[in-house]
Amino acid sequence: MDNPRMHECTICGDERLPGHVWFLVAESHWEDKLKVLEWQDVLARRPGIYAACSAGHVEELVVHWMTAGSLDYPFATVGHKAGRRMRGAGSFLPTIEEPDTRGARQIGELAVDRESVRRALRDDPGCLRVILDELVHALERETTGTTARLESADAMCYGFPREI
């Protein structure tokens, strides 16, 4: 009998139980985008895909990604950080492989201009709250069974592009 691998939340390490609504998060290093995806067991096993047990833990990953530029969460209790790999023993630059998100239903996507984020964090970090609130609101609607797609926040904050 197969014993399916248990999935753990990247933030708290809790194990996913059948029937619970969880989310997946993946980043595109080349486009500076972050995707929030509907849970799929098969997708959750892929390299570079991060599991989150709640809207709050997705938010925590997003905040880390916006401030650090990476989903490699330093306080993660789970060692599922296989998104980046180096090729060749003599290679000086890492080759970054994008996570495979084919077949996933995308709940939301964030695209940021890193310079605008740095400026916002320096001048008025509270202006990013609008983006985070909209994301959490969309994820909470997903949790309650109402289909919601986060396509854009209507906040223009320190020159952020509209597709944030």
Instruction: Check if the beta carbon of residue 97 is closer than 8 Å to that of residue 47.
Output: yes
Per-residue pLDDT tens, the chain, 164 aa: give them: 343 567 899 999 899 988 889 999 999 888 889 999 999 999 999 999 999 999 999 999 998 888 888 888 776 555 544 444 333 445 555 566 788 888 889 998 888 888 888 888 888 878 888 888 888 888 888 888 644 333 333 333 333 333 44
Strand ranges for the chain from DSSP E: 23-28, 33-38, 50-52, 84-85, 95-96, 106-111
Angle of helix 55-68 relative to helix 114-123, nearest 10 degrees, comes to 100
Please enumerate in sequence order all residues whose Cβ is within 8 A of that of 42, keeping only pairs 6 or more positions apart, or say none. Answer: 103
The domain containing residue 134 runs over which residues? 23-143
- Do the domain assignments include residue 154? no
- Do the domain assignments include residue 5? no
Q: What is the reported pLDDT for 75?
A: 62
- Do the domain assignments include residue 104? yes
Distances (CA, A) of 52 to 34, 88, 154, 162: 14, 32, 25, 26
The domain total for the chain is 1
- Do the domain assignments include residue 29? yes
Max alpha carbon distance in the chain (Å)? 57
pTM, entire model: 0.71
- Do the domain assignments include residue 117? yes
